[in-house]
Each structure stands twice: as structure tokens, then as C-alpha cells.
Amino acid sequence: MTEIQYHLSAFDGPLDLLLHLISKNKVNIYDIPVAEILEQYDAALANMEIRDLDLESEFVAMSAQLLYIKSKMLLPRHEENEEEDDPRATLVQMLLEYQKFKEVSGLLSTKYEVGRDIFVKEPECITPDKSYRFSHNKTDLSDAIVKMLDRADHALPPPVSNFTGIVGREIYSVSAKVAFILKRILNAGKVGFKSLFTKVKTRSEVVATFLAVLELCKSGKIKIGEENDPEISLTEEE
């Protein structure tokens, strides 16, 4: 059986009433004027009609705790005990924790109001039917297999254009590049080194051109000079 809970006006318990009084008087929760709050607390408690004895005992216990804190604060402090703990510290901690739970409760209540009108369809357990429901005679199946094999026998290979760009490379010979360089030097007399690579398209052609230059230098057919030139130039060996 669900236990009946009683709510006194807008207060769900003694901590709720204390938070209300602190907010109403606009005081710092860390510096509660206990005497003033106790007076207002007892006045509010006297006007309440409490039918639940357990709940009434909680309010009375809080009143007694406030009275105890008030009496401790009235006692003089000794100089050697200046660092004595504030008698309100435990109450402040209780109020802070209750305030935190109250804020979370309000947030959850808002979520509940949003979701209470949303109805979600429960998942259904579906077992897939993997059986083949069509019926065929032997002749139909035999004809289908013959047609499939016939199409496979007469299928044309894919055109060569389908493989263009997938695999392939151009081969550049060093000897061809040697002839190319000598021809350019013979026609122009002097050729810039960088100009040999202006129309080069691939890495293999770059390597072949560079090796051709080295081969010509090694054999003494060309010489490399850089006097008064912005770049290295190649000339025919005299």
C-alpha cells in the first residue's frame, strides 16, 4: 500500500520552510540570523495543521535544533577558542544539499510534464520467414539454367577502354633523352638546365632526363657553366 504524504501549504518539510524564510528575508544562507528565523519559523509552525505525527515531529525537531543553535551563539567565546566551529555549519550544509535536490526535482518534474503525453510504440518481435514460397516444375528450372550458361558462353570481354588509367606506365630511355639534349644544344648553342624539365609529365621522365645530363657530363660531350647566368646552363664541349 502506498504511503500517504502530506504537504503543508507550499512546504514539504522543515528544510523547505527554512529555505522559504531565508529567501523571504533576503539573508545570506552562510550567515543565517538564527534568532529572527527561529521566531518566524515558530510563528509559521503554530499556524499549520499537521495530521501526520511523523511529519509534525520533524518540524518540532528542527525548531529545537534552531533553539539549540541560538543558545550556543549567545554564549561568550573564549579567546583561546576563537577558531571554534560555527554552530550553524551543520544546518547550512543540510540546507545547501536540500536546495540542490529541490532544483533537480524541479528539472525532473519539467521533463516528466514534457514526456507524459508522448507514447512510444513497444518493439515487436518479428521472426523472418526464410522459406521460398514459389513452386516451379523441373522444366522451368532446367530452361533457366541453360539460358544462364548460354549467356555466360557468349558474353563479350569488357573493352580495353575500361582499363585505361588503372594500370600502365610510359617508359623513357636515357639514350633517347641524351639525343634530345644534344639536339637542343646543337640548335641553340646553350640550353638552360631547368628548361629541360618544362614539358616533363611524369617522374620517370624527370629521372631519365637527369641521368642523361649526368651521362653527357661524364662522357665529356657537354659542360655545365653558371657564369653570369641566373641558372645552370649546358653547352657543347669544345
**Residues 87, 35: contact at Cβ < 8 Å?**
no
| Position 228 pLDDT exceeds 80 | no
Q: Does residue 186 share a domain with residue 104?
A: no
Give the cell for residue 235. Answer: 653547352
Q: Does residue 185 share a domain with residue 109?
A: no
Residue 120 resides in a domain: no
Q: Could you list the residue range(s) of the whole structural domain that residue 213 is in?
A: 174-236
**Residues 237, 223: contact at Cβ < 8 Å?**
yes
Residue 108 resides in a domain: yes
Residue 145 resides in a domain: no
- Count of Cβ atoms closer than 10 Å to residue 233 Cβ: 20
List alpha helices for the chain, DSSP H.
Answer: 14-25, 34-46, 53-74, 89-115, 138-153, 174-188, 203-219
Give the cell for residue 163. Answer: 582499363
* pTM across the whole model: 0.39
Question: What does the mean pLDDT of the chain come to?
Answer: 78
Question: Which range has the worst mean pLDDT, 1-10, 205-214, 219-228?
Answer: 1-10
Residue 222 resides in a domain: yes
- Structurally, the chain folds into a number of domains equal to 2
Alpha carbon distance, N-terminus to C-terminus of the chain: 117
| Per-residue model confidence as pLDDT tens digits over 181-205 | 888 888 887 888 888 888 888 888 8
| CA-based nearest residue to 62, from 14, 124, 125 | 14
Q: Does residue 196 share a domain with residue 104?
A: no
Residue 164 resides in a domain: no
Residue 62 resides in a domain: yes
For residue 206, what is the domain's CATH number? 1.10.10
More confident residue, 118 or 217: 217
- The residue among 115, 135, 166 that closes a domain is 115
Residue 207 resides in a domain: yes
Question: Which range has the worst mean pLDDT, 47-56, 91-100, 180-189, 206-215?
Answer: 47-56
